[in-house]
Structure 1
């Protein structure tokens, strides 16, 4: 875990625009590849992420395909009604809004609740100290000035993702409990959440407005409808029948690797194979798949 004194360098901050959102906000990203805390971050992520993945699999969604699979189980239990509403919401700036001390405390609480006094032979107090180094010693350069992050963690640091997930494990407990009590679905992918609802829409809005007050740093923006995109899938409640298809962001351009490029031939085969596999997995009817197949064909033609 010791940094390489020769290759080590300060992280540097840059911004990526979120072109799919109104007013095009930016996402702050720190290049931490050669940062002094990177080895510690990677180590903690390797030993703690598997624990989170194992203990929180019922409320975690890894991609659109896994969400579709879980929702099919929801449908098979007869829970999808013609009046069932879908709800999606995302947590605003989760990575950079994590309160550091509280996040460290929740990390220890998470491990303790799940029966861990040590992880890979390392006591929890030592793990907390290592995690504290990753968070509190995150120093970076921006416009020839040196800064230290005092709120949240670096988006590009691998352990920040795991810590954010564990923080949300704590925050979402009440929401998950209420969904479980009414046999409704709850699934989260990092800072994006999908829920089903079979009560009045106003009751759902009241619940989400209440959730917005649970923590001063956790603010959510929600959408409620019978047709909503989530990650890379569009979900529709068609009179009690679940319909799914691939979702393309409005700003997405129909580009893939150009066929005139010098990439190995198997790269182009993989593009076609992956696109068709996605279409098959995400399309709930043959008509939807056929439309997607035509879209793939046109995309490939546009790319030579």
Structure 2
């Protein structure tokens, strides 16, 4: 049975976390709504993680233009009233799941109580406020519902010049035929949503998406780990007084990330050498690092 509950907090409280765990049963249902309108030559990939984006790219071939599109300040600019209507439509008219056993008006009032009426900073603001709840369940539900609606409208088959379309929350990766089509797509997304989108396309055959560097110069997608210039490699210090298994988990997390992201052995070797030196500088054992790397590589190659 689908269940729904909302717990608004008093307006004077700083955090207004509201749980809506099931509309209709999982927020990621909204990611799949856009697939109903996809043309036969368009592959739409709703992503749950960086790892899934890499799996998609390794099964696709690059086309004329690869680009990334980012929604500016998505969580603080979602139109609450419009998105509430979209959610109500998804809940009561879903093509697979049964409707909630709750009236449309009651659900609307519950959603309003958790958004417009609960905001203490700007009570009349008709967008989701940036008061701390955007990283929690209800904020994600609103974002996924609204962006999926925008996709069903903007990505119509008769307007398509896309080969690949991937989205993770507010980051989009696409393969498209030319810059004019890219500009038209960006304009359609902005006109449909009322939000602002920033666009970047492959520069000298390279482009970043999430924390992955994508290289298309070889005629295929070659992926590598990407680090922002501001990334100082901060992590748990290796000589701190803490549980040793936690320190080992730091090494494993770095190694697992490199193995997943690097599509060639040369790139993997370079990244492992960089991470190795960084962790040694933070007090980790080079012997333990090498042991963990060998074990994880053996597990990977034996699959």
Question: Common fold, TM-score beyond 0.5?
Answer: yes
**Aligned CA distance change for structure 1 residues 43 and 210 (closer, same or farther; 3 Å):** closer
Structure 2 counterpart of 1:195, from 165, 171, 174: 174
1:267 match: 246
**Aligned CA distance change for structure 1 residues 241 and 61 (closer, same or farther; 3 Å):** same
Counterpart-to-counterpart distance in 1, 2:32 and 2:52: 15
Report 1:214-233 matches (<5 A): 214-216=192-194, 218-225=195-202, 226-233=205-212
Structure 2 segments unaligned to the other structure (5+ residues): 36-43, 284-303
Shift of 1:43: 4.1
1:63 match: 49
2:113 match: 133
Number of aligned pairs? 264
TM-score between the two structures when normalised by the length of structure 1: 0.76
Checking the alignment, whether the CA contact within 8 Å between 1:227 and 1:237 is kept in structure 2 is yes
1:11 match: 13
**Aligned CA distance change for structure 1 residues 11 and 157 (closer, same or farther; 3 Å):** farther
Checking the alignment, whether the CA contact within 8 Å between 1:45 and 1:158 is kept in structure 2 is no
2:30 match: 52
1:299 aligns with 2:278: yes
**Aligned CA distance change for structure 1 residues 285 and 156 (closer, same or farther; 3 Å):** closer
Report 1:165-180 matches (<5 A): 165-178=144-157
Checking the alignment, whether the CA contact within 8 Å between 1:96 and 1:153 is kept in structure 2 is yes
Checking the alignment, whether the CA contact within 8 Å between 1:234 and 1:244 is kept in structure 2 is yes
1:148 aligns with 2:123: yes
**Aligned CA distance change for structure 1 residues 258 and 64 (closer, same or farther; 3 Å):** same
Checking the alignment, whether the CA contact within 8 Å between 2:7 and 2:114 is kept in structure 1 is no
**Aligned CA distance change for structure 1 residues 118 and 202 (closer, same or farther; 3 Å):** closer
Shift of 1:204: 1.9
Structure 1 segments unaligned to the other structure (5+ residues): 13-31, 141-145
TM-score between the two structures when normalised by the length of structure 2: 0.77
Deviation per residue, 1:132-168 (Å, 9 max, x gap): 211112233xxxxx54262322424420111111100
Structure 2 counterpart of 1:235, from 214, 225, 233: 214
Checking the alignment, whether the CA contact within 8 Å between 2:47 and 2:167 is kept in structure 1 is yes
